[in-house]
Amino acid sequence: MTLEAEVQSLRQVPMFRDIDPARLKLLAFTSERVQFAGGQRFFSQGDAADAAYVILDGRAQVLLDTPHGEIRVAELGENALVGEMGILSDTPRSATIMAAIPTTALRIDKRVFLELLAQFPQMALAVMRELAKRLEQTNAQLVAQSAS
Amino acid sequence: MEKSLFRYIWTHSKRDQLIVCAVVLASQPFYFASLDLPRQIVNQAIQGEAFREGQALAPFLKLDLHMPNWLGGHTFHVFDGFEVGRIGLLLGLSCLFLFFVVINGAFKYWINVAKGVLGERMLRRMRFDLFSMVLRFTPEALRTVKSSETATIIKDEVEPVGGFIGDAFITPIFLGTQALTAIFFIIIQNLWLGLMAIGVVGVQFTVIPYLRRELLRLGKQRQLASRELAGRIGEVLDGIEAVHVHNAYGWEKAEIGHRLFRLFDLRVKIYNRKFVVKFLNNFLSQLTPFFFYVVGGYFAIRGTLDIGQLVAVIGAYRELPPPLKELIDWDQQRLDVQVKYDQVTEHFAEERLLPFVSAREEEEQDKPLVGPLKVEELRISDAHGGLILDNASFEIELPAKVAIISNGGGAASTLARILARRMNGFSGQVRIGERDLLQLPLAVAGDRLAYAGIDPILFPGSIRDNLIYGLRHKPLGSPGSPDSREEMRRIVEAERTGNPVDSIADQWIDYEKAGAKDAEDLDHILVTLLNRLGMGGEIYLFGLTGWIVPEDEPELAERIVEARHRLRETFQAEGMAGLIDPFDPESYNEQTTIAENLLFGVPKTDEFKGRNLAYNPDFRDAIDRAGLTDDLVHMGLQIAETMTEIFQGLPPGHSLFEQFSFIGAEELAEFEMILRRHARSDVALSKEDRAKLLSLPLAYIEPRHRLGLLDNHLRLLLVHARRLVREMLQMADADGVEFYDPEKICAAAPLRDNLLFGRISYRVANAQARVAEAVSAVVRNMELLEDIERIGLDHQVGTAGRLLTPQERACVNLARCVVKRPDILILDGALSPFDEARSQKMVEVLFGLCEGRSLLVVLPNDRQADPFDVLIRFRDGQIVLEEPRGPAQRARRPAPESSQPIAGEVA
């Protein structure tokens, strides 16, 4: 799997969909490809957020610490972006991510990511658009909930 | 130092000056003889004056001694000479001329060397004297002395003084004699003309120095201004961080520009003045012949003066101006140098220096600092005149553990500094037993007292060098043979110039003082000490990045190789084999660069490092033979294409460039040109372009850069080329690469690489940490920990210890104080880089280390004061002693300063 393949994966991520191919290539090039064994954690809830991950191959589980122990709230598949909220908002990890099976991911370093955003407005806009979309969805969900 | 330069020179070099003087005088007859010979050759031999009366032979080398008329006019025949013909006389006289030329040359050579050596010896002495005085600056003087200014004084300002010293006595004597002879001759010819000449010379010697006084004043100003320039540059460099942070470039540039203008202005003024004086000087020397012509001519016409006499006088006068001018120049130089010397001695004025103590006195006073520490009527005020301590007195029996509790102001630190003798300018008395603390000789205090302040001062060098700094008081023996010729020469020179005879090659480290038997034992003590102070982990890591010298430690080298094998087994056994890609001579290592794969070793010289490799002819030859060049150039093209594509649009100097790009921002355009040239397929790439492209893939690591450039065929070729490269480099006898050998230590590689003998995978998450754990387990198992930590002691601390963190600096500083086992250890803010828990622990450790000796610690509050014997508190400028309250008692009443953060330890 090469840089080109990673760029293809990145293109599947909604947040990165509209970004220039050259920029996506730069993003991929400045990221690291890492392999997690099944059961190995990407990070744990409460850790400092230092990177975001794009799953290239494999699956990962989202776990939440609760008074009753860890519970699984979701599963992420290929091309899923995870941990981006933490590096944007500078807050600790809100959940634990654990590889379900041997998984390969692209690790996007926080500092590099922020520098790319600062350098290329187009990238920053794409991220903003995605965040706004999510906010709108949340709002819609809230309205739906309060209506019901 | 003597106030007068001449006295200084004379005291220290009279013997040499006299010898050189004597030789100069001895050389004079030969010099005059060589001047006289050409005339003889022309007159006697060529024109044949010696054969005028028709004789065929004339005497050669006839030596007569004529007495002057006023001594009776006798002539003594010393040697009758050889009778020779005309050609014989010509050859004889010419050879004699050549002989004198050689003799004169030899004299000149000897005199020049002797003068140069004399000057250089004095310069060495002067510089050393000045440096000795630097070491004696009082704490007060040190506050105003700028280091870079002092450095320029010792280095630059005394340099012309040294150049002058060789001429200091010889020139005036030599030239003075010449001038006096000429004047004497004139006087003999005609008293009045002689007096006239003396008159003009007198005017020259009074007016010109007078005019030069202004010149000297300007010179003095210029010297100060250039010294300040050096000081200012040093300041800016020391505070460069502030300049960057506050964008003060413009201001600093203007500041320096202004200073440079002032230097320029002073120089222009000096030039104006100097050349006016020169003009006047020339004019005055031409004035005398004017008088001779006018007055002498008048007398000659009137018949009172013989024309022959007048011509002789004028002839003699022609001899006078050159020595006179040189004499005046010498005088100028003398004044110049004297000014410089005065400026230098002013910088090192006696009142800025601590008293000088003889070694014998030091020895007498070298007794342990125990007994009652008595402080009486201590008064000291701060910079605003407010009293910090007002008639404070107390007494403590030493050895004791004393906590000096800060009251939030500067009192605690001030007291600590006074007790550590870091501060003068107070009134009152500090005595230990019968001895006045302030009167202790420097050497005794430095030996028996240790003070660790808030700013640890580290010197460039290894951690070990810094730790044993306090153990190097005097040489304890010499490892080399002292009677070697070079060594004798060094000692003789040192004695002649008042320099120390001690050699830094001697054995200086006082093992006994640290309680060690030998170097190895001392290392053990240092490592243990750092471990106890909580720096063990760092020292271990430093050790892993350090180097081992297999020749010095063959046994350790063997054990490291053994550990390497053990580590491999551990990885295999625990299923961690995938974390590491081992160096294998027969297979391509995925996790390392193509260059390293080709070399299969570590470059030792710059020639083989980084991109330079692409330009090394032997290396190029090898990959040519392996048929790899085209492949690598092709890879270079692909890399250049990708880099120019993805890094386009990033501003030059962006951190991403440095961190990730194969191509620097400034080269981007260049590689674009190459790509464009390549795209026009009709043109083949030039040799230079190919070398440039070839240099790119050398740094390529497939799993890291993921450009998909390597396939199995290429990997095979690269492994195959490895052998060729090695053969070529060995054939070329280029000792620039140390090759890997699974059974041997690679001295050029850090210890970590030698242990792993492979690279950690880029692919596996968290591989670094897991490998580090495994390494540390094996190291512990094989009892290699201390050896590795010992190598860690070789870690360089950098200028002022900047390569260490503040905590590490503080640790090294503390360990340095403890290892010399002082009678009294005073800590004043040395623990401030640590958090409360760590500093509490450090104090406990120090208690153990200072068993039976005194420990004084400035504490920000009394929370940590329980283990101490006595607490010193400050109330209204008074000092109060207290027993420490137990923790139970204190819990009831919260400490008044408990809100103060520990980090703000006021010291």
Q: What is the pLDDT of residues B283-330, one digit of tens each?
A: 887 787 788 888 888 888 887 777 777 777 777 677 666 777 788 788
Whether residue B631 is found in the same domain as residue B722: yes
The pLDDT value given to residue A99:
93
Amino acid at B636: G
Count of domains forming chain B: 2
Give B827's strand partners.
B452, B857
Q: Indicate which of A19, A20, A26, A119 best probes the interface with B, i.e. most B CBs within 10 Å of its own CB.
A: A26
The pLDDT value given to residue B863:
81
In a domain, B71, yes or no: no
Spatial separation of the C-alpha atoms in residues B72 and B352, rounded to whole Å: 66
B686-691: long-range pairs with CB below 8 Å, 24+? B690/B629, B690/B633, B691/B614, B691/B615, B691/B620
Whether residue B606 is found in the same domain as residue B714: yes
Collect all residues of chain B within an 8 Å Cβ-Cβ radius of residue A4. Answer: 708
Q: Which of A22, A40, A116 is nearest residue B765 as measured by Cβ atoms?
A: A40
The pLDDT value given to residue B898:
38
In terms of CA atoms, which chain B residue is nearest residue A111? B656
Whether residue B861 is found in the same domain as residue B728: no
Collect all residues of chain A within an 8 Å Cβ-Cβ radius of residue B766. Answer: 40
Spatial separation of the C-alpha atoms in residues B802 and B599, rounded to whole Å: 34
- Nearest chain B Cα distance for residue A112, angstroms: 7
In a domain, B107, yes or no: no
Whether residue B600 is found in the same domain as residue B709: yes
Whether residue B606 is found in the same domain as residue B709: yes
Collect all residues of chain A within an 8 Å Cβ-Cβ radius of residue B708. Answer: 2-4
Residue B364: CB atoms within 10 Å: 11
Residue B658: CB atoms within 10 Å: 10
Tell if the CB–CB gap between B707 and A3 is shorter than 8 Å: yes
DSSP B670-693: HHHHHHHHHHSTTSPPPHHHHHHH
Collect all residues of chain B within an 8 Å Cβ-Cβ radius of residue A42. Answer: 765
- Nearest chain A Cα distance for residue B679, angstroms: 20
Q: Number of H helices and number of E strands within chain A?
A: 5, 8
- Nearest chain A Cα distance for residue B575, angstroms: 12
In a domain, B620, yes or no: yes
Let me know: does B701 contact B591? Beta carbons within 8 Å. Answer: yes
- Sequence-distant (≥ 6) Cβ neighbours of residue B259 within 8 angstroms: B225, B228, B229, B232
Residue corresponding to tokens 């080298």: B557
Residue B354: CB atoms within 10 Å: 15
Last residue of a domain, one of B691, B717, B739: B739
In a domain, B730, yes or no: yes
Collect all residues of chain B within an 8 Å Cβ-Cβ radius of residue A119. Answer: 649-651, 654, 656
Residues of chain B with pLDDT under 70: 63-73, 316, 319-321, 357-360, 478-483, 681-683, 886-907
Residue A24: CB atoms within 10 Å: 22
Tell if the CB–CB gap between A34 and B763 is shorter than 8 Å: yes
The pLDDT value given to residue B480:
59
In a domain, B259, yes or no: no
- Nearest chain B Cα distance for residue A66, angstroms: 26
Tell if the CB–CB gap between B654 and A22 is shorter than 8 Å: no
In a domain, B635, yes or no: yes
Let me know: does B164 contact B333? Beta carbons within 8 Å. Answer: yes
Starting from the edge strand earliest in sequence, which strands make up the sheet with B427-432, in order?
Answer: B387-398, B371-381, B427-432, B435-436
Q: Which of B646, B651, B654 is nearest residue A22 as measured by Cβ atoms?
A: B646
CATH of the domain at B379: 3.40.50.300
The pLDDT value given to residue B886:
61
pLDDT digits (tens, 9 = 90+) for A54-107: 999 999 999 998 888 888 888 888 888 888 888 888 889 888 999 999 999 999
The first and second tokens of residue B237, run together, are: 């460099």
In a domain, B772, yes or no: no
pTM above 0.80, yes or no: no
Closest CA to B551 of B744, B743, B786, B737: B744
Collect all residues of chain A within an 8 Å Cβ-Cβ radius of residue B645. Answer: 22, 25
In terms of CA atoms, which chain B residue is nearest residue A113? B656
3-class secondary structure, B428 = strand
Domain ranges of chain A: 3-147
Domain range holding B677?
596-739
Q: Which of A2, A22, A25 is nearest residue B708 as measured by Cβ atoms?
A: A2
Task: Report the sign of the C-alpha dihedral through residues B355, B361, B363, B365, in that order.
Answer: negative
Spatial separation of the C-alpha atoms in residues B537 and B741, rounded to whole Å: 29
The pLDDT value given to residue B550:
86
Collect all residues of chain A within an 8 Å Cβ-Cβ radius of residue B762. Answer: 32-33
Q: Which of B642, B656, B763 is nearest residue A33 as measured by Cβ atoms?
A: B763
Whether residue B726 is found in the same domain as residue B648: yes
Whether residue B728 is found in the same domain as residue B858: no
Closest CA to B511 of B499, B519, B503: B519
Residue corresponding to tokens 């540390």: B776
Tell if the CB–CB gap between B656 and A36 is shorter than 8 Å: no
In a domain, B637, yes or no: yes
Amino acid at B359: A
Collect all residues of chain B within an 8 Å Cβ-Cβ radius of residue A107. Answer: 765
Instruction: Name the CATH superfamily housing domain A3-147.
Output: Jelly Rolls (2.60.120.10)
The pLDDT value given to residue B259:
93
DSSP A70-83: EEEEEEE-TT-EES
The pLDDT value given to residue B792:
92
- Nearest chain B Cα distance for residue A135, angstroms: 31
